[in-house]
Chains A and B, each alone.
Chain A
Amino acid sequence: MTQHRGTGIGPPDEYIEAEIHRLLAEDPAVAEQGITVVRRETGLVLYGEVESAHRREEIVRRVADRFPDVPVTSEIGVIRTEAPTQIEQLP
């Protein structure tokens, strides 16, 4: 991973966003490609849905470890696994 000028001394930049995307996809402990990173004035917000609460926590932990000076909040959800209550009919 490349060191970023912006880390710790200014607002998050687009390279941080790109790096988080690659970190989450390429880190074997995460392997998530569907997480969206949104930059707010208050820091980074992570959106998306994953298959377990453990994965959600691991994503936030990895990003916080990599960018300790950037405030990170999570709106990541765990996908429901109930049986369907409706069907789709296709003639």
Chain B
Amino acid sequence: MVIRIAAVGDVHLDEDVVGRFRPALEELPDCADVLLLAGDLTRHGTEAEARCVAQEFGGLGVPVITVLGNHDHQCDQVPQVVKVLEDAGITVLEGTGVVLECAGGRLGVAGVKGFGGGFAGRCASDFGEPEMKAFVRTTTDSADRLAQALHSLDCDLLVALTHYAPVPDTLAGEPLEIYPFLGAYQLGQAIDSAPTALALHGHAHAGSERGVTPGGVRVRNVAHPVIKQAYSVFHVGDHLDQGEVSRLSASGT
């Protein structure tokens, strides 16, 4: 059983970017069962920018599933952005999940935007000023909704999709001082609470590709500036021995 997952985040579309990704996206039906977008689809989260996303990522011939990112919230037009994306056939997850029937089995994807807060031992606490407590509670609420969504799916392969990072591993390359703005350990804890096979995120433009949660779940940072290609493709399943983890091979194998 193999399920083929294409993924990218942080494409930050506006009119000046429309058309840049499309030639590579047209190849997706030949090499992937699904395309996952890890948030920051737009620059400012306007309805007009969402139409650019719909134009670029709509009608691809494979299902497209996304979470939103912090940029997609900038102009407080989230309902309009979501409507434009959904009208284009793009599934938007926020504390929700979806199961797709793929040739290799049932793929479950649970997603939230997530939030910052930092990582174990060096994180913000639910203590002090109302602003700080609201910050941390935003993170824990998001992580709780991710855990619920992950546990709600009946599938053969479970994937967690977030914008913010669930582990610090994939932030390597970013300044240490900004880690608390890039992710939170609670997201990793939620991912580890379910039988998750793979966690995908974006947001950390200067981070690195590969990491693992404390519970052993593979994490991949698919932010466009990190992967430096239109999308990455992962073949996930029981088709290989453990020794072949992360082995790269020619496309289409």
Contacts of A90 in B (CB 8 A): 197-198, 218, 234-237, 245-246
Interface residues, chain B, with chain A CB atoms under 8 Å away: 4, 11-13, 16-17, 20-21, 23-24, 27, 31, 43-44, 71, 74, 197-198, 205-206, 218, 220, 224-225, 228-242, 244-253
A34 adjacent to chain B (CB < 8 Å): yes
Is A80 a contact partner of B27 (Cβ separation < 8 A)?
no
A63 to chain B, nearest CB (A): 18
Q: Do B240 and A31 have beta carbons less than 8 Å apart?
A: no
Of B17, B231, B240, which contacts A91 at CB under 8 A?
B240
A54 interface neighbour in B16, B21, B234, Cβ under 8 Å: B16
B234 touches A33 (CB 8 A): no
Residues in chain A near residue B252, CB distance under 8 A: 87
C-alpha gap A90/B157 in the complex (Å)? 12
Contacts of B11 in A (CB 8 A): 51
Encode contact with B along A24-36: 1 for CB under 8 Å, 0 otherwise.
0000100101101
CB pair B246 A84 closer than 8 Å = no
- Contact call A79/B224, Cβ cutoff below 8 A: yes
In the complex with contacts A33-B205, A83-B24, A90-B235, A52-B17 CB distance below 8 A: yes
Q: Contact between B228 and A79 (Cβ–Cβ < 8 Å)?
A: yes
B215 to chain A, nearest CB (A): 16
Question: Other than the known A79-B225, A79-B228, A83-B31, what 19 A-B pairs have Cβ atoms closer than 8 Å?
Answer: A31-B71, A34-B225, A48-B205, A54-B16, A82-B229, A83-B229, A85-B250, A86-B249, A86-B251, A87-B233, A87-B252, A88-B232, A88-B234, A88-B235, A89-B234, A89-B235, A90-B234, A90-B246, A91-B237
Docked CA distance A91–B197 (Å): 9
Q: Do the beta carbons of B232 and A81 come within 8 Å of each other?
A: no
Would you mind naming 19 contact pairs between A and B with Cβ atoms under 8 Å apart?
A: A31-B43, A31-B44, A34-B225, A49-B225, A51-B16, A51-B17, A79-B224, A79-B228, A81-B229, A83-B23, A86-B248, A87-B31, A88-B235, A89-B234, A89-B244, A89-B249, A90-B218, A91-B238, A91-B245
Whether the Cβ atoms of B20 and A81 lie closer than 8 Å is: yes
A55 close to B (CB within 8 Å): yes
